Amino acid sequence: MNRRNRAEVEVFKEIEIESTKINQGDLKEIISHQKKIKEKSSKLDLSKFKKLFNQISLALDLIKDFKAKKYTKIPWRSIALIAVGILYFVNPFDLIPDMLPLIGITDDALLFVSVFKSIQFDLKKYCQWKGLNSEKYF
C-alpha cells in the first residue's frame, strides 16, 4: 500500500469514529455554514478538483434535502460521514491548517475523496432521485 492510500485509510478511520457523534443539530450547523463552505470550496483548483467541487455542492444539497425530509432514502451513516467531512472542511485549524498556502486545503480534499468514495452508491442514488447526471460528480 502506497503512502497516499495509507493516509486515506487512516483519515477514513478517523472519519468513521467521528461520524458516530453526529446528530441533527450538526446538520443544522452545516446548513447555516453553507455560504462559508461554498466560499472555501471555490478555492480549490478547479482544473484538478472540478468533480470534488461538484461533490461538495451535491453533499450540501443532500444534507438540506435530508434535513427537510424531502429525501430520506439514505442510511444515517452516509449522512453522518458527509457531515463529518463538511464540519472538518469548515474548521480552519484541522490537521494541516488552511492558512498554509497551497497545502492547507490538501487534507480537506483527501478527506472528501475518502468520504465520497465510500458512499458513492448512495450519492448516485440521490443524483438519480434529483434527476442529475451522476457523471458530473463521479
Tell me the three cell numbers of residue 107.
487534507
Q: Name the CA radius of gyration of the chain, rounded.
A: 14
Percent share of the chain, pLDDT over 70: 83
Residues 18-55 pLDDT 10s? 899 999 999 999 999 898 888 878 777 778 888 888 99
Q: Is the pTM of this model over 0.85?
A: no
Cα(95)–Cα(98) distance, rounded to whole angstroms? 9
Identify whether the C-beta of residue 64 lies closer than 8 Å to the C-beta of residue 105. no
